[in-house]
Chains A and B, each alone.
Chain A
Amino acid sequence: MRYVIVGNSAAAVGCITGIRKVDPDGEIVVISYEDRCYSKPMIADVLVDIPEEKLLYRDSSFFEENGVETILGHKAVSINRKNKVVALDSNELVPYDKLLIATGGKPFVPPIEGSDKKGVFTFTELHSAISFKNYLKENGAEEVIVIGSGFIGLEVAYFLREIGVNVRVVELLDRVLARALDRRGSEIVENMLREKGVEFIFNDTVEEIMGDEKVSSVRLKSGSVLRADAVVVAIGVRPNTELAQTAGVEINKGISVSDTMETSVPDIFAAGDCIECTDIVDGQKKPIPLFPLAFEQGFIAGLNMAGKNMEYLGGLVLNSLKFLPVPVLNAGVVEPTDDSCEVFVNDKFEKKGFYRKAIVKNGKLIGFIAIGEIDRTGILTNLIRQKIDVSNVKERLVELDFGLVDLPQWWREEKLKQDKTAYKDWRAF
């Protein structure tokens, strides 16, 4: 059996891990246009000079130990589904028996006039992060404009302040992380960033990036013109489906996959930021571009590619803001989805430094926020995942000492005594 994986990040490593659980001998080939297996969520750390080895997600020994052949520095440009080969930009043809498309996401750049000027960057690849850093140094940049206040935008802004660069974040909506947090959560995060010296411009957007060859300023929709020695576009990522299209696989909001992570074309699987997955919370198919999900999807794809039949549990939103001194986590939804939802809040942020919120619908937890005190919140995440009835303990969900003793006794019997902790054991009830 010959497995070919296009991509070399979380989903690819998950896939290798999954394949090797079942098939110790089959050939595995990894194709990536990038030169190493680094941790995508950590690229903004290059701004604060994280040592290169810390950025590595898996070093060469991982690939050697798993008997993986790597073709690095070459882009897979097309798939011929009839002959079952992947064509590279070097014109090399790589045959496969089972193929995983793990091409990830690509940054979304809205049509802004002047966005092709030098000094405009996106932030989803190590290469672009390093180029950005070098550009700042070479041009002695003092003022940077970040477009978008999502996770990437805020992290870049924070680290820029860390190295003494002035930052203005321009956000179309009226608060930071508006799609990830509730209003209170946004306020807490915004305050922490303001203390760090980040400036915010809300309800506005960049309409034009100006300058000769290089960017020198931006013009906002509101009319004001701001100095910009560099611009970071961090509005979001979209599934990268270019390669998948060449194979004619079904694509909706992302590559469409079955519960076993197989695409509409036999023997072609897909996982990670390039797909749309089922959200456990609302049952909708959508891209949820998150590292933990990418790994898990890749792992499940690997098991199935190697012949073990295993269905994916489904995804859910899982966010962690890792750069702030105060941890900020959330899972599932953060606002009630309709009138039948109950909302529980424990806001002691001013006095004790924590904020907790939980949303319950039909007796089930469907989301929470934890800021400041985050220990043991994984228990809550699992309540969402397994759809366990929490009617009797709903007020307790936002207490810091919420624990397994609050869960039904049969759950502890099954998980602790019987040790039912295999993948299939975590399915929703």
Chain B
Amino acid sequence: MSRKRKLMKVYPIEENCISCRYCEVACTMVHSESKDPVKAYKLENLLPRATVEVKEAVSLSLMCRHCKHPFCFDACISGAIMVDENGKVNLDEEKCVGCWNCVLVCPFGAAHPMIREEKRHSFKCDLCGDRGFPACVEACPNRALIYDFER
């Protein structure tokens, strides 16, 4: 067999989620140029890679699961989606041509379309690659998101 995966992922705990959306704000901010939560939304037109879902008493924050079998990787026609040796699923927004196949096949709805006049590509959670620790987990006030080794 090929080498074993060694990956840390963000795991949501829906029992703890209070739908405060701090994770969404933190995500948008760290992925922005300005690093400012308001400017990121208003001026940079950015969207969060974490999605808070609410239905009655249930809520949870959801982002790319870096699936053991990523259907998005199968479906990507441009080669923008690649899986590294640890199993992390990366999406190269520059290489992406916006075919939306990943949006169509992600069982979690975690690959999102960015449809702007000047920019058409998919985007998703990158586990805060350069940052070292996911901002959403850091921002969560109620331990509804944890950063843990792959289960």
Docked complex Cα distance between A57 and B111 (Å) = 20
Tell me which of B11, B58, B104, B111 contacts A417 (CB under 8 A).
B11
- B54 interface residue, CB < 8 Å from A? yes
- B106 interface residue, CB < 8 Å from A? yes
Tell me which of A322, A416, A426 contacts B98 (CB under 8 A).
A322
Contact A376 B51 (CB under 8 A): yes
Task: Given A381-B104, A412-B14, A416-B12, answer yes or no on A405-B60 (Cβ-Cβ < 8 Å).
Answer: yes
Docked complex Cα distance between A283 and B9 (Å) = 36
Chain A residue with Cβ nearest B68: A422
- Chain A interface size, as a band, is 35 or more
**Which residues does chain A contribute within 8 Å of B2, judged by CB atoms?**
20-22, 24
- A404 interface residue, CB < 8 Å from B? yes
Chain B residue with Cβ nearest A24: B2
Interface size of B by Cβ–Cβ distance < 8 Å? 46
Contact A381 B107 (CB under 8 A): yes
Contact B65 A416 (CB under 8 A): yes
Docked complex Cα distance between A10 and B110 (Å) = 23
Task: Given A377-B109, A403-B53, answer yes or no on A292-B75 (Cβ-Cβ < 8 Å).
Answer: yes
A19-49 CB contact bits vs B (8 Å, 1 = yes)? 0111010000000000000011110010000
Contact A54 B115 (CB under 8 A): no
Contact A295 B55 (CB under 8 A): no
Contact A374 B77 (CB under 8 A): no
A24 CB to nearest chain B CB (Å) = 6
**Which residues does chain A contribute within 8 Å of B69, judged by CB atoms?**
421-423, 425-426
Contact B78 A378 (CB under 8 A): no
Contact B67 A403 (CB under 8 A): no
In residues 147-205 of chain A, which contact B (Cβ within 8 Å)? Answer: none
Docked complex Cα distance between A426 and B68 (Å) = 11
- B140 interface residue, CB < 8 Å from A? no
Tell me which of A42, A296, A401, A405 contacts B77 (CB under 8 A).
A42
**Which residues does chain B contribute within 8 Å of A14, judged by CB atoms?**
74
- B22 interface residue, CB < 8 Å from A? no
**Which residues does chain A contribute within 8 Å of B14, judged by CB atoms?**
412, 416
B138 CB to nearest chain A CB (Å) = 20
Docked complex Cα distance between A331 and B75 (Å) = 13
- A222 interface residue, CB < 8 Å from B? no
- B101 interface residue, CB < 8 Å from A? yes
Task: Given A22-B1, A322-B98, answer yes or no on A403-B62 (Cβ-Cβ < 8 Å).
Answer: yes
Which A residues have a C-beta under 8 Å from some C-beta of B?
10, 14, 20-22, 24, 39-42, 45, 54, 56-58, 291-292, 295-296, 299, 318, 320, 322, 325, 327, 329, 331, 374-379, 381-382, 385, 401, 403-406, 409, 412, 415-419, 421-423, 425-426
Which B residues have a C-beta under 8 Å from some C-beta of A?
1-2, 9, 11-14, 51, 53-55, 58-60, 62, 65, 67-69, 71, 74-75, 77-79, 95, 97-113, 115, 150-151
13 new A-B contacts at CB < 8 Å, known A24-B2, A379-B108, A426-B69? A22-B1, A39-B79, A58-B79, A292-B105, A318-B105, A327-B113, A374-B104, A381-B107, A403-B62, A404-B62, A404-B109, A417-B151, A422-B69
